[in-house]
Each structure stands twice: as C-alpha cells, then as structure tokens.
Structure 1
C-alpha cells in the first residue's frame, strides 16, 4: 500500500494511475471538499493535517511501501513531515511536483521569493490589488495593505467558512471578497479583473495544471502588474514531474 499526500488538482489523477498499476493507495488531504473529490472516484481518504509522527504511525500500522508527496508546492510543513515520516519508518519518499513555468522577462511581471516581499511590492505599486494566494497568508497582506491610501485590497479564495471568518477577523469588507472555486477560464479571469478594476494581481507559482499560467497571461495582456511568488526551494531527493516516473520508482521500491 502507498501513503499519498494529495494537494493539487492533478494529484487525484496520479493516485488513480498508481492504483491502476496494481498498488493500493491511501490518500491524505486537509479539507473535506478535497476528500470528497477523492472519495467520489473510489479512493480511500484520510482527512486532516498530520504530524510526522502521525504519518509514521500510519505507515507502520498499515505496512506502507512508500510515501508519495503530491501536496501543493507551497505546503512546506507537509513536505517536511512526510520526509521525516519516511525516514522514521524506513520507507522511500517520492515527491511529485508539476514542472515549473518559464516566463519571459515581462516589464509587468514581478517575481518575489516570499509572501512578505509580495505584500511590500504590492504596497509600492498601489491600486486595486487582487490576491489569489488563499486565506492562510491573508494576514500578511492585510497588515501591509489594508487602510493604505490609494489601495483597494480584493481577495479571491475558496468559499470555506474558515476563509470567511478570517476575512472578518482581519477587517476585509465583504464587497472585496470573491468566494469562488476554480478552475477558471481565461474569460472568467478577465471578467473578474475588469469588474474590480484590478491593477495588481498577486499569485503563487504552482505549475501549469493549477492554471497559474492563464491567470498570469490574461492579467499581463490587460496591462495588470503581476506579482508572482516563486516556489520555496526544498531538497526533496527523489522528485518527478511526470506520473510514470513516480510509478517506476514505486515498482523499484516493491
């Protein structure tokens, strides 16, 4: 059996392909909505955040052969916990991560290494700023941007109760919240940018399947500044950006 952390839109397909190649799979996700997406295609799911010790206990208890980490590129704590659990349990750790995108040197594209730097760059640019970075780091942006002259802060995020509660706690007005679940077409992105008069868009670099390229390209074509937070640099060891590589590594680990 394979223990698999799922956190991207293509993780489900990878889990199905692993299963189709003869492996039993136990997936792990954080949210109920993600769990429902996996359950509906017959995948076994464990829901909720897990520590390294908890992961290791599951691996030992169920006799897992390997840990496959297909969590989001920015899920640094999940990566660290999965790698620690693999070491503790003596099983291989295999990372699946989408290939990064290569962008031209566009004058409206601002690549930064962190959320803090993104907030400071947005503060410098001013205007109508649309965040598409989720609720977890919203406080970093509200701390720097809310109440600043010549800045309107708009947050696009998943329509989850915890996100709405966080917006309320941080003082983000309802008129500046876009509670919606993707994926989004180019037309949808453009319509939202135009509706909110967006002049700056903040996003994370997560790879093509996550549709960040369409979000970025449509913004640039509309003359919108794009602040792109680059992926954290993590030494994963065994890492693949294609499904067959993961499956071949699992066969080797049998």
Structure 2
C-alpha cells in the first residue's frame, strides 16, 4: 500500500507506528512544521514534506506517485485541510479516512470555571469584556494568537508555543514581550500547569477542545485547583465528511485497511 498521511499530530505518529508494524506500506507524511516532520520521521514515516500544501499540489503528488489511500490525521481544528482532503479524495475516487480524535468526557469533571466559545476571536472578546485585568495563559498554539489579540491585551498575554522560528516570528509581529513566551516541550500535566499559573500569576487559561491527548482535562483540573478561569474553544463542525470514512482509533483503522486489501485482492 502507498499511503499519503496528513499529519502533524500525536495521533498521526501513532498511526504511522501502527501501520509500519502491521502492514507492508510506504507512507509519505505531510506536516506544516519541521518539528512535526521530525516526529513523523522518528515514528517511521518513509518520507516527509514539511510545509503546507495547496490543493493542486496535493492532487499532483497523489496522481504522480500513485497513492492508494489518503489519511487525514490533522488536528480537530484544522477545518480547512480536512474539507480539502475530503474533496480531493472524492474528486480522485481515492480511498479516504479521516481520523477524528474522540471528544473528551467531562461528566465527572468540575467545569464551573469553564467558559465555552466558538472561536478565538470570541475568546479575545470575552477576555476584553470580563477578564481584562487578568494575565492570560494561551495554551492553544501560535496560529491562534492573532485572533485572540484582536481584542485582548498583549500586555497580559503569555503564549505557550514551540520555540521554532515561525512561531517566534509571529510573536514578534504581534508585539508579544519575549519574556512572556513559554517554551513548549509537550503536553503539561496538572502539576506543571499549576506551576505555570503560579509563575505567571495567571487568571485565565485559553485552550482548544482538543481531546484527552491534548491535555484538556489536566488544564481544567489545574485551573480548578488554582481557582482561575478556562476559556475553551469548541471544535468546529466539519461538514461534507461521510461518517463511514471516520475512524477514531487504530482498531477501526485496522478494519478499514483490511477491507481495502480484500477489495484490491478481488480486482
């Protein structure tokens, strides 16, 4: 099998490892950052492309290199690439799977400090309206900072980001104080989040609803322990995706790949 994997997430690394362990497959992984590409290569991907790819270039890669399967394992908030990948698969009549990270179950979690919004612009508006005197820990990635700062003050803004050139340049262009930048080395646990809250005297955490693997519960529990607020951006609803193409774990992926191979054998 020749597989084109749209990656850049922890989920995509797990998918690479699973496929390489259980199947005879060649995998090309695309990511938007060098860091994501490095992790994909370490995970076992045969080749990598470390930059955003427009639709026409993705189509060219697929058709010229005769890929059999397109797997979208991008972030739950990467709405545009998911819609693009689904449309490409439909156009090329290509086998397609969308790995959708399971949503978190907060039934047994105290969510009294959680404020739900639908976008990062709304998050900034809420901060400006209700929490404008509080220091803000931004745990939602460098690409979302600009929307928050359309309304929130940069003076009280502390982003936790990967210290890569592109992210640091975004901080600089937005006027973020270099001493406010928190280097990210992976998802933090409850204790580490509590330490950051104390260190930066934070009153608000911004996070995406990015599932258990994104450390959302640890952020909420740290906020509860320190009696501060959490602004959670809810996942966008991805339209035009056939539910039969959705998977949420490697067991479901295994079934899909086996069915694909059976189909090929019958041809």
Place the TM-score, normalised by the shorter chain, in its bin: over 0.9
Structure 2 match to 1:252: 259
Structure 1 match to 2:14: 13
Structure 2 match to 1:109: 114
Give the distance between the partners of 2:63 and 2:258, measured in 1 at CA: 19
Q: Shift of residue 96 of structure 1?
A: 0.7
Question: Are 1:130 and 2:137 an aligned pair?
Answer: yes
Give the distance between the partners of 1:175 and 1:106, measured in 2 at CA: 31
Displaced runs of 4+ in structure 1, greater than 4 A? none
Give the distance between the partners of 2:20 and 2:136, measured in 1 at CA: 42
1:146 to 149, 153, 172: 153
Asked whether the 8 Å contact 1:4–1:26 carries over to 2, the reply is yes
Question: Are 1:81 and 2:84 an aligned pair?
Answer: yes
SS state of the match for residue 68, structure 1? strand
Structure 1 match to 2:55: 52
Structure 1 match to 2:219: 215
Describe the superposition over 1:82-109 as per-residue Cα deviations: whole angstroms up to 9, x where unpaired.
Answer: 1122122211221112210122462211
Segment of structure 1 superposing worse, 15-24 or 107-116: 15-24
Describe the superposition over 1:168-212 as per-residue Cα deviations: whole angstroms up to 9, x where unpaired.
Answer: 221111222212221222221111111111111000011111212
Give the TM-score of the pair, scaled to structure 1.
Answer: 0.92
Asked whether the 8 Å contact 1:119–1:144 carries over to 2, the reply is yes
Give the TM-score of the pair, scaled to structure 2.
Answer: 0.88
Asked whether the 8 Å contact 2:20–2:44 carries over to 1, the reply is no
SS state of the match for residue 17, structure 2? helix
Asked whether the 8 Å contact 1:8–1:72 carries over to 2, the reply is yes
SS state of the match for residue 55, structure 1? helix
Structure 1 match to 2:65: 62
Asked whether the 8 Å contact 1:53–1:85 carries over to 2, the reply is no
Question: Are 1:95 and 2:98 an aligned pair?
Answer: yes
Structure 1 match to 2:265: none
Describe the superposition over 1:198-253 as per-residue Cα deviations: whole angstroms up to 9, x where unpaired.
Answer: 11100001111121221222112211100000111013221111111122112222
Structure 2 match to 1:2: 3
Asked whether the 8 Å contact 1:3–1:25 carries over to 2, the reply is yes
2:210 to 201, 206, 210: 206
| Greater RCO, 1 or 2 (C-alpha within 8 Å, sep 6+) | 1
